[in-house]
């Protein structure tokens, strides 16, 4: 019988890696230093080529527990990070934590230090205790977004570790992190009874707690026993426990990334939101009003114990050798969580919760394996499109691949080509759907097989998507393709291709034209340039007229560069292609404008001045 997969998949491997390296101890040591410094401070320490940045837990927030829309309050700082998730509500984050992050972001000293770290380090680890963890998470998202928009390949890796941090955003926020494939960049360390990560689930707090929220680490011990008990009871009575049921409305707040829930017996590691929430409740239920406060201040003890236990590779003594690796893993996780079989019905609920998390992790690997089979099954459709392109490029009508499809008739061949286009689109849409639902391996988007396959699909099929868009006249209603009609899958594949490791062979000049035009949106830009020529001939405003001419000229320079570098396919240069029609129309327009220099003084010798 084949061995079973890791019980809790990538989250378990991540926890093992963290506990067996200096990352946990170094990041917590710096968090302690930041906590002892001034309010709203941060600390930096560089160890070799790893830079650690820790944010103080002692922070003052102006607002209470309020979620705000990232699109409205985020100032666009997170770049292309989604502000809405398809089929979900708006992406929202805690307003107080967002304001804290923005106060750091607006500091020139902070910006200078981050810039210095980025230029000298290979890895950046952001960390924070309590509210400092929320600032660290938002800082990590900001840096990840920044890396995505830069063209350099030498950007450092970014990782975030939080200790006892309150939850940051809603479920769409968690989904957006998964959608951008950043879940593996975050690990949240939570002590078994720590109340702070569970606070957002409570519907209301005692007044003293609302006042102390911003300075919890410093003032928590000043809470009276009565307030501690009231706080503990309110969180336990909230809807985030198993009694709420999966079908009832979820809390506004929702976990993201991986969670390492620590006890003095070990740690449980999960990355499934539902399982995390349930286990947080079950473990808190075994605590007390005092322990829920004390645990928030004992992370140094938990970090040292977890590291020691992982390095010693503790084994479960109560599991017989006849049990499967799945059952052994669940039993070990239960022992680490300090939930025993004598604690019914908590024990039974915890077993179901951990088994479900294990199954979800196993299904990701299974789905990834199945996806390889599905990819092989669509290869014939792709091969038929390649044959069609070769046929069009050699055809006597000299239209080329793009224009032949755009002007296609009702033949059986044309129908089959269009059906293959749709079939391939459905396959890749299913890939994106499974990725966004966290149903594929965390590193799926980095696997060379799928990065290369998606890039080839994009270069081969997107010209057909563009042709269909303009053939059917959709651009007249929605606007031009690049801005208004491009499918999400192509934008995602752009990111995959941009994030890959580039070899030296890709920088060598081409000796012949590419088999596929290397800018999959080339034909959309041709169509837009032709439309600009049409608009120029009807524009009466001189200023607007020169602006249109400038856009056409920039496209001409871009297209000439593509051709000189041989980054276009031969269909671009076909005699009757849309690109050659653009060249003829643009040449004719320049001739007309040179005959009317007094009307358009900004256009001389075919150039916009």
Annotated catalytic residues are: 130, 194, 296
Exposed e or buried b per residue across 355-373, where buried means at least 16 C-beta atoms within 10 angstroms of its C-beta: bebbebbbebeebbeebee
**Checking DSSP bridges between strand 123-129 and strand 50-55, what pairing results, if any?**
parallel
Question: Is residue 274 a contact partner of residue 256, using CB atoms and an 8 Å limit?
Answer: no
Strand locations in 445-597, DSSP E?
A: none
Dihedral of the CA atoms 402, 408, 414, 419 (nearest 10)?
A: 70
- Locus of tokens 């991540």: 14
Burial of 203 (0-12, 13-18, 19+ CB in 10 A): exposed
- Kindly state the tokens that stand for 260: 């390492």
CA atoms within 13 A on the CB side of 477: 6
Q: Which tokens is 2 given? A: 């084949």
DSSP calls for 88-157: S-B-EEEHHHHHHHHHHHT-HHHHHHHHHHHHH-SEEEEEEETHHHHHHHHHHHHHHHHHHH---S-PPE
**6-25 in b/e burial notation, b at 16+ Cβ within 10 A?**
bbbbbbbebbbebbeeebbb
Which residue, 124, 115, 75, is CA-closest to 98? Answer: 75
Return d(Cα 3, Cα 5) in angstroms, integer: 7
């Amino acid at each position: 019988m084949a061995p079973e997969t890791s019980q809790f998949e990538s989250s378990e491997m991540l926890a093992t890696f963290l506990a067996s390296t200096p990352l946990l101890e170094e990041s917590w040591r710096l968090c302690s230093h930041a906590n002892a410094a001034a309010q709203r401070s941060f600390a930096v320490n560089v160890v070799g080529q790893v830079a650690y940045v820790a944010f103080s837990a002692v922070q003052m927030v102006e607002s209470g527990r309020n979620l705000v829309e990232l699109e409205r309050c985020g100032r666009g700082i997170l770049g292309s990070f989604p502000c809405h998730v398809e089929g979900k509500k708006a992406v929202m984050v805690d307003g107080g934590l967002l304001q804290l992050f923005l106060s750091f972001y607006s500091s020139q000293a902070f910006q200078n230090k981050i810039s210095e770290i980025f230029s000298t380090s290979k890895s950046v680890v952001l960390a924070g205790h309590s509210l400092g963890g929320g600032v660290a998470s938002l800082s990590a998202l900001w840096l990840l977004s920044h890396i995505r928009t830069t063209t350099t390949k030498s950007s450092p890796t970014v990782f975030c570790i939080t200790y006892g941090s309150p939850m940051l955003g809603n479920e769409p926020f968690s989904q957006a992190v998964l959608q951008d494939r950043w879940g593996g960049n975050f690990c949240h360390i939570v002590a078994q009874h720590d109340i702070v990560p569970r606070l957002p689930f409570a519907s209301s707090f005692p007044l003293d707690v609302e006042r102390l929220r911003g300075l919890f680490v410093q003032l928590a011990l000043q809470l009276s026993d009565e307030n501690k008990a009231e706080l503990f009871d309110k969180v336990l009575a909230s809807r985030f426990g198993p009694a709420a049921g999966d079908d009832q409305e979820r809390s506004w707040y929702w976990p993201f990334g991986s969670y390492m829930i620590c006890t003095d017996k070990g740690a449980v590691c999960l990355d499934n939101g539902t399982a995390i929430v349930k286990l947080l409740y079950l473990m808190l239920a075994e605590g007390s009003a005092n322990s829920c406060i004390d645990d928030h201040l004992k992370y140094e003890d938990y970090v040292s114990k977890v590291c020691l236990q992982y390095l010693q590779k503790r084994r479960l003594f109560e599991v017989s050798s006849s049990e499967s690796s799945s059952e052994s893993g669940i039993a070990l996780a239960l022992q680490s969580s300090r939930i025993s079989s004598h604690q019914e019905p908590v024990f039974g609920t915890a077993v179901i919760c951990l088994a479900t998390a294990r199954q979800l992790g196993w299904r990701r690997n299974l789905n990834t394996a199945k996806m390889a089979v599905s990819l092989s099954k669509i290869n014939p459709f792709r091969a038929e499109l390649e044959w069609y392109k070769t046929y069009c490029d050699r055809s006597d009508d000299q239209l080329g691949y793009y224009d032949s499809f755009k002007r296609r008739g009702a033949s059986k061949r044309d129908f089959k080509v269009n059906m293959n286009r749709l079939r391939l689109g459905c396959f890749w849409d299913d890939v994106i759907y499974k990725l966004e639902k966290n149903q594929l391996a965390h590193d799926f988007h980095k696997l060379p097989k799928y990065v290369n396959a998606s890039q080839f699909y994009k270069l081969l099929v997107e010209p057909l998507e563009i042709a269909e868009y303009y053939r059917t006249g959709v651009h007249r209603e929605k606007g031009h393709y690049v801005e208004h009609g491009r499918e999400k899958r192509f934008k995602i594949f752009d990111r995959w291709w941009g994030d890959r490791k580039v070899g030296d062979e890709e920088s060598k000049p081409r000796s012949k034209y590419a088999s596929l035009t290397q800018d999959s949106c080339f034909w959309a830009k041709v169509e837009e340039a032709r439309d600009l020529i049409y608009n120029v001939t009807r524009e009466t405003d001189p200023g607007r007229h020169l602006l249109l001419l400038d856009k056409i000229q920039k496209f001409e320079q871009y297209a000439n560069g593509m051709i000189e570098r041989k980054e276009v396919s031969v269909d671009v240069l076909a005699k009757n292609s849309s690109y050659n029609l653009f060249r003829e129309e643009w040449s004719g327009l320049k001739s007309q404008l040179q005959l009317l220099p007094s009307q358009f003084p900004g256009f001389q010798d075919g150039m916009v001045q």
